Amino acid sequence: MELTTVWFILIAVLWTGYFVLDGFDFGVGVLLPVLGRTDVERRVLLNTIGPVWDGNEVWVLVAGGATFAAFPEWYATLFSGFYLALLLILVALIVRGVAFEYRGKVDDPTWRQRWDWAIVFGSAVPAVLWGVAFGNIVRGVPIRPAGAGLHLEYVGNFFTLLNPFALLGGLTTLGLFTTHAAVFLALKTTGDIRVRANALAAKLGLATAVLAVAFLLWAQAFSGHRWLTIPMALVTAILFVGALIANRLGREGWAFLGTAATIAGAVSTLFVGLFPNVMPSSLKTVWNLTVTNASSTEYTLKVMTVVAVIFTPIVLIYQGWTYYVFRRRIGVEHITPTTEQADLSVSR
């Protein structure tokens, strides 16, 4: 297997890991005012992700860095064409991180409420825009050669990205992430929050199933390997149904694995359908960016492979250990209402 293909697969794995892990973080933020009826309950919700949210975000940094190093043409075209959308995501992530840390700095309900809405904003915007971005990558965007050079440039604008297929992708990721988060909260909490999260996951799951099926079926129109992506989409749908059944039976652990596998299956289906392209041109197929014409030199890919082989297991072991240490359920009984609001850095 050529190194360009290996790194395409590795980048797909990194994005898959990011959507699975930071996906439920985003979902918890979106569901904060829905499941958190009191300040104590909202503290419980935030403490479920307190030890892991910043580690989960590392996946997107590594995915972006790997794309820059392995496929610089892809990186340059993506970040120039999607500049405003990615800037909005970056601003939202910054707002969310600041809100996590500053929410508990002042023991005042109004202060905390404002930061709670900042968390909702900082979670909902990436949850939608990541789906919009990947929908456009799968569908293809207007790119063409820049002048007389060999480099390709994006010739659309921000509103070009807001097409029906991409918007459906944004709604799908929002639905998947919130369902994933509701199942996660049912797994991580006790008492009334657990019951409400379980019931909400069932309701969100039905709406998300409709969106996901529509999106994956529509994506087949842009797939270069329908003989493979159609069965993958079918398996993904079965996994999601299994997750909803497990949730209904109160088997939150299996339900969480099911929603995680669903997100992984959906992302994998999109990447398989995309290959060997990394960014198709909606103007002419001859202008498609592929793993060949967008890649770095062979030497660069070899060095990156050695580094990945050494450090990837270390990162996985460390993150796995973090989840193991903070595996227990928490509830309102673990929060002392009379104490000053604890911020997420304390929970870590």
What's the rounded mean pLDDT across residues 196-202?
95
Position 239 scores a pLDDT of 95
Contacts of 274 by beta carbon, 8 Å cutoff, 6+ apart: 137, 138, 224, 280
Position 333 scores a pLDDT of 85
Position 157 scores a pLDDT of 84
343, pLDDT greater than 80:
no
CB 57 within 8 A of CB 93: yes
148, pLDDT greater than 70:
no
Confidence of residue 337 (pLDDT cuts 50, 70, 90): low
Position 145 scores a pLDDT of 84
340, pLDDT greater than 70:
no
272, pLDDT greater than 90:
yes
Confidence of residue 346 (pLDDT cuts 50, 70, 90): very low
Cross-strand pairs, 82: none
- Of 150 and 258, more confident: 258
Position 347 scores a pLDDT of 45
Report the topology of domain 3-145+153-339. Answer: Formate dehydrogenase/DMSO reductase fold (1.20.1630)
Position 105 scores a pLDDT of 87
In angstroms, what CA-CA distances link 190 with 48, 187, 200, 201, 331? 11, 8, 15, 15, 5
341, pLDDT greater than 50:
no
Name the DSSP letter for residue 330.
Answer: B
d(CA 126, CA 137): 16
Confidence of residue 147 (pLDDT cuts 50, 70, 90): low
Chain position carrying tokens 């369902």? 179
Position 155 scores a pLDDT of 87
3 state SS of 142:
coil
d(CA 348, CA 52): 8
What's the rounded mean pLDDT across residues 312-328?
90
Cross-strand pairs, 189: 330
CB 142 within 8 A of CB 155: yes
Report the chain's mean pLDDT, rounded to a whole number.
91
- HEC per residue, 112-134: HHHHHHHHHHHHHHHHHHHHHHH
Position 150 scores a pLDDT of 62
What's the rounded mean pLDDT across residues 288-298?
92
Q: Which two tokens stand for residue 83?
A: 């500049």
247-257 confidence digits (pLDDT tens):
999 999 999 99
270, pLDDT greater than 70:
yes
For residue 141, report the phi and psi dihedrals to the nearest 5 degrees: -130, 160
Of the candidates 256, 327, 279, 295, the one whose C-alpha atom is nearest the C-alpha of residue 137 is 279
Length of the chain: 348
Position 170 scores a pLDDT of 96
d(CA 164, CA 186): 33
H-helix segments, 220-297:
226-248, 252-274
What's the rounded mean pLDDT across residues 53-79?
91
Cross-strand pairs, 143: 154
6-31 confidence digits (pLDDT tens):
999 999 999 999 999 999 999 999 99
Cross-strand pairs, 125: none
